[in-house]
Structure 1
Amino acid sequence: MRIVEEEQEEEEERGVGGVEGGREEEERGGGGGGRRRKKNKKRIRKEKDEDEEKKDEKEEKKEREKEEMRQKKKKKKRSTIKKWNANKELQKKKRMKLEKNGKDKEEQKELQ
């Protein structure tokens, strides 16, 4: 028992055991596979970023399409209203012309 405790104390003093020892091993690149783990983490982070970018692009595209549809609807509505107004004006002119013609005919009858 005593020998094991002494070995642990020596390891702690040298910084081999415990949390500190693990840090030192990582800094040195020891422990086998540290570099691979880092590369995998980098790759995974990169893939996540790419996925997020794709997702953002899709959302932006949807928003643009929605906005385009809104603009088209507004434009169509405006043109329809313009047509209605133009038609109303045309009807007014026709009515005025008919009334004028009707009055002219009545005046001609009165003159005869």
Structure 2
Amino acid sequence: MIPKRSGKELGFRPYVEYLSNSKFAGLKKERLLKRNENYKHLFIFIVDCITINHVEHPILCVDLYDKPGDSFRVIPSEMWGVENNLSISNMDFEEFLNATDNDGIHRGFK
């Protein structure tokens, strides 16, 4: 069996812009979508209280383009794959959404 290699080992990393601002604390997804109607990206990653408190720290990924508001969570070690593939339209949001476990978290493709 060939061991699974991480994105870091393969030379991949997520290309993201970080925004940390307390004025967004507690902002609901619907309100976030209205605030970002002119946002140039197709999706957004959000660190929220679930991310912080869950043992795997799954980051919320929200679709801003095809079906705004659709979302799933992704563990940090798989975030690079989501960002890289969505950014170049190699895969679409729905493919990742459909590849989540029963708890709505994407842990990679098996």
**TM-score above 0.5:** no
Question: Hey, which of these two has a bigger chunk of strand by percent?
Answer: 2
TM-score by length of 1: 0.19
Q: Which has the larger radius of gyration?
A: 1
TM-score by length of 2: 0.20
Higher relative contact order, chain-length normalized (CA < 8 Å, sep 6+)? 2
Question: Hey, which of these two has a bigger chunk of helix by percent?
Answer: 1
